[in-house]
Structure 1
């Protein structure tokens, strides 16, 4: 005689139900790494997003390294950390780094000496995926920061158009003042290549600000960004011309490190001022 079909179906479902109950038990008792997976992945995604979208992330990280004693030289740190909000950002970043490191360490311990749930094939696959993502984040740290700068600056290029056009048509040769720039000093006097702004330009209220402007021999206009975008240059170059290493009006060498086109002759550029221009 054959067993009824409904009894046979119930017998087939029992192993699945039993496995689900065991999985829930292991999860509740901390024997399954799902919670650690979610925590670690969330920290990873939040950190990557923070790197891209926060113009102050590099400064926040530098201050965190200094406060933790990972670096002893604090001479290059800016003063943004003096505010309460900046201190909270440093604290939150430190907390995220600790939680990410601890959760990844617990996962490492779990797959080597943990319970069966931690040593399952799926656990190994997730752990290796997370580890690869963390390695990728560390290796592409600078690229993410650069990509974030490009996204932020690209949306403000239009605000620089009129200033660049005005300077291209009438470049100052001596100290002076203009509505879009405010007062400035021109170097060298009489054959100026560099304009040093004495006040913050009006456009800083709605977008990135800049502290000086350089003019290239080919007629290009270089804006040295400051504030939260410090360390980058926004440049306009005439057709056929591109960013290159140069010596400014103050005889400071700028060695080209990287540049990316933003369209219509505009480039986002990074220079190393410590290197000598060949």
Structure 2
């Protein structure tokens, strides 16, 4: 019974860590190598404390499981030793997978969050599909902006970045492509990437912005209704 309780604690810790990786925009920052040496204020002391607590609980419970199994094997309880060894190996493999693929898990979590924000993104982009500005101006959904390059602008630099309803994401600039695609550059806690609307037969690709800034496509994921969540290497 005691061993079963330890297993329950350990598996619960693993599941909690996976859910956290998917739901918290700052989780990748915490586990990146430079973050460990940086100030905790970058992600918050509560997050650091929570992460440290989960790591300690996971390590302690796994060590307890291994010690208990070793003791039982020594006294000759080998009937289900292969099954027990497989269970321990599977759990260790899951932890290794979490460490190696935490960015992919975080990306899929972000994809789900932005799938719920399509209506907010549409409110910004819809007026621009019909009439793209030809000079500096102001729009209800975006506020004041500056249009670049002069004469035939393809980039709107927003002077007051509008926030999505979550208040964790802001739109800092908007790009328009020759095929009609409209790209929103995202900033904020859950920003750092692009939300893009593409017409049929158009897909995210590498591009050079209106300010002559190159963007090399790293990954793109459809989130519905012609929208994509996109990450570029600048």
Asked if these proteins are the same fold (TM beyond 0.5), I'd say: yes
Match of residue 126, structure 1, among 58, 82, 87: 87
- Residues 1:115 and 2:115 are matched in the alignment: no
SS for the counterpart of 1:36 is helix
With CA pairs under 8 Å and 6+ residues apart, which has the higher RCO, 1 or 2?
2
TM-score normalised to structure 1 length: 0.73
Q: How far 1:97 sits from its partner (Å)?
A: 1.9
Quick check: 2:22–2:108 contact (8 Å CA) kept in 1?
yes
Task: Return 5+ residue gaps in structure 1 as ranges.
Answer: 1-23, 28-32, 274-278
Q: How does 1:228-243 map to 2 (within 5 A)?
A: 228-243=189-204
Distance in 2 of aligned mates of 1:229 and 1:147: 13
Match of residue 87, structure 1, among 45, 55, 61: 45
Match of residue 58, structure 2, among 96, 100, 103: 100
Distance in 1 of aligned mates of 2:230 and 2:188: 16
Distance in 1 of aligned mates of 2:130 and 2:168: 24
Quick check: 1:156–1:208 contact (8 Å CA) kept in 2?
no
Q: Which residue of 2 aligns with 1:30?
A: none
String of CA shifts for 1:158-183, please: whole Å, max 9, x gaps: 12223212112221232222111012
Q: How far 1:226 sits from its partner (Å)?
A: 1.4
SS for the counterpart of 1:195 is strand
String of CA shifts for 1:94-142, please: whole Å, max 9, x gaps: 221232233334434554xx31179752532321221122122223322
Which protein is bigger by CA-based radius of gyration?
A: 1
Q: Which residue of 2 aligns with 1:10?
A: none
SS for the counterpart of 1:270 is strand
Match of residue 142, structure 2, among 146, 170, 181: 181
Residues 1:60 and 1:238: Cα distance change in structure 2 (over 3 Å): same
Residues 1:225 and 1:79: Cα distance change in structure 2 (over 3 Å): farther
Q: How far 1:200 sits from its partner (Å)?
A: 2.7
Q: Which residue of 2 aligns with 1:265?
A: 226
Residues 1:177 and 1:230: Cα distance change in structure 2 (over 3 Å): same
Task: Return 5+ residue gaps in structure 2 as ranges.
Answer: none
SS for the counterpart of 2:121 is helix
Distance in 1 of aligned mates of 2:132 and 2:186: 19
Distance in 2 of aligned mates of 1:182 and 1:204: 16
Q: How does 1:75-224 map to 2 (within 5 A)?
A: 81=43, 86-111=44-69, 114-116=70-72, 120=78, 121=81, 122-201=83-162, 203-204=164-165, 208-224=169-185
Distance in 1 of aligned mates of 2:101 and 2:59: 18
Quick check: 2:163–2:169 contact (8 Å CA) kept in 1?
no
